[in-house]
Structure 1
C-alpha cells in the first residue's frame, strides 16, 4: 500500500451565510497559484453552490456518480490544471440525508482518485444534519468557518459540541470570515475557544481570518472567484496567507498523514 500524501479537510459552519463556499473555492485558487494540487467536493448535497460561483453548468454531478458504471473521472470538472471540482446537484432530497449505503458507494468511487491530489476539500452544508456530521468525521482535519455574529458563534459551538460528544472529534481549526479588523477576528476566536475549553475541554486552533471586503460581493455577482477577479484585494491576500498555513501544516505532518487513510472509513487500495 502506498503511503498517503493527501490532506483531507472538511470546511464547515454552524450556520449558513458565513461565506464558507467562497472560502473553499478561493483557497483552491490560492493553492493552485503555488503549484499545489487540490480537489474540491461540493458536499452541500441537494443545494449545489460551487458551480454557481464559477458560473458553469456541469454535465454531470454527484447524483450521476451514484449510478452504476459512472466513475469519478466522468464527473470531475477541471477548473485549472491540477485543480478540479466534483459538483453537487440541486433539488434531490435523497442526497440531503444520504444513508450509509449511498455514502459507501460515493466514497469508494472517490477514493480511487483522491490520492492524486495534495488536498481534498469537502465543502459541507451548514448545520448539524446527520450527513454533515458523518462527512465531517471522515476527514483528517475540520475547518470551522465563523463570522463575528453571535448566531454564528452559537451555532458553531453547537456543531463542535455534537462532533466532540458523539463522534469523539477534538481537533478543529477555526477561520474567522468577514472580520472588520484583526482585533475583532481575535476576539471572535477567543470567545469560541473559551466556550470550548470551559465546557468541552478542547482547545481550538486559530487558522486566521479574512477581512470583510466589498470586492468579494462584486466577484460573486460576476460569478468570478475573488482570486481571479481581484488577486490584490485585502481578502485575497488573507486567503493566500491561510493557504500557506495549510501547506505548512501538510509539510509538518507528512508522517502523520502518511499513516492515515485520506478518508477514515475508506482506506486506499
Structure 2
C-alpha cells in the first residue's frame, strides 16, 4: 500500500486475542475512552467483521457501517460515529461472510480510506476479531503496535501463543504488548504473562512486553448491561484504574516514538530492529 501520509503523528494499535470471550472489545473500548479522558483524539474501528459488537456495548444503532464504506463508495467520514467529542468509532456489521475474508482489492480500498481519515487522530485503534483469519492477520501485520489480550485460562494462553506464532513465522512480526485481563490479583497476572513470555522466548525467540493487567471486576459486568463504557459508568472502579494505567503507558510509548511514527504510514508495521 502506498504511503498516503508522509508526516504521520497517528499511532495505530491492533487489539487482538487468540480466542473469544477474554474481554478484548471491552478493553479496546475503555482504553479508547481512557485516552479520550486524557485529552487524546482516538478513533476506534470495529474490525470484528463477522460478529461486530462495539455498537451493542454502546447501545447505539449506526445508520452506516464498514459494509457501506466498502460497497457504496462513501467516504470514511460518512460512516464515523461520535462516542464523545474527540473519541469516535467506525462501526462494523455482523453476519456478512465476505467481509470476514476480504480479498486484497477490498482491503486496499478500506486501508486507503482509513488512512486518510485517521491522520487527524492521535490513535487509530483496531478492535480485531479473535483468532487468525486472513483479515485479522492483515490488520495485525500492518498496525504499528499490537496489544494481545489474554486471561489466566490455559486455553487463552494456548490460543494466544498460536496466534503470535503465526504472525512471527508467517508475517515477520515480532513486537507484541500483552494485557492480562480478568486477573484476580497482580501475582496471577504476572504468572500468566511469564508463562506466555517464556514459551515465546523459547520457541519463537521473541521478547514479549508486559503492558499490565486488568482486575476481574463485577462493575464491568454491570457497565456492559447498561451499555455504558466502564470508564464513564464507574471511573473509580478497580478495572477503570487499571485501564487508565494502560492508557498512560500507551501515551508514553507514542510520545517516546513520535519521530519513528512520523517516518511511517499509519498502517505500516515498524521494521524489526
Asked if residue 154 in structure 1 is aligned to residue 192 in structure 2, the reply is: no
- The equivalent of 1:25 in structure 2 is 29
- Out of 48, 62, 71, the position equivalent to 1:44 is 48
- Out of 121, 130, 136, the position equivalent to 1:132 is 136
- The equivalent of 1:195 in structure 2 is 199
Structure 1: where are the runs of 5+ without partners?
none
| Equivalent runs, 1:68-107 vs 2, <5 Å | 68-107=72-111
Q: Distance in 1 between matches of 2:81 and 2:106?
A: 21
Q: Is the 8 A contact 2:6 2:264 kept in 1?
A: no
Q: Distance in 2 between matches of 1:104 and 1:264?
A: 13
Q: Is the 8 A contact 2:70 2:109 kept in 1?
A: yes
Please report how far the alpha carbon of residue 113 of structure 1 lies from its aligned counterpart in structure 2 after TM superposition.
Answer: 1.0
What is the aligned length? 265
| Equivalent runs, 1:108-257 vs 2, <5 Å | 108-257=112-261
Please report how far the alpha carbon of residue 217 of structure 1 lies from its aligned counterpart in structure 2 after TM superposition.
Answer: 0.5
Please report how far the alpha carbon of residue 47 of structure 1 lies from its aligned counterpart in structure 2 after TM superposition.
Answer: 1.2
SS at match of 1:142: strand
- Out of 259, 262, 265, the position equivalent to 1:261 is 265
Could you state the TM-score of these two structures normalised by the residue count of structure 2? 0.96
Could you state the TM-score of these two structures normalised by the residue count of structure 1? 0.97
Please report how far the alpha carbon of residue 214 of structure 1 lies from its aligned counterpart in structure 2 after TM superposition.
Answer: 0.4
Q: Distance in 1 between matches of 2:172 and 2:33?
A: 32
Q: Distance in 2 between matches of 1:250 and 1:105?
A: 27
Please report how far the alpha carbon of residue 67 of structure 1 lies from its aligned counterpart in structure 2 after TM superposition.
Answer: 2.5
Structure 2: where are the runs of 5+ without partners?
none
Q: Distance in 1 between matches of 2:114 and 2:220?
A: 31
Q: Is the 8 A contact 2:6 2:265 kept in 1?
A: no
User: Closer, same or farther in 2 for the Cα pair 1:134/1:69, shift >3 Å?
Assistant: closer
Residues 222-246 of structure 1, C-alpha deviation per residue, up to 9 Å, x if partnerless? 1111011111100000000000000
Q: Distance in 2 between matches of 1:204 and 1:250?
A: 18
Please report how far the alpha carbon of residue 2 of structure 1 lies from its aligned counterpart in structure 2 after TM superposition.
Answer: 4.5
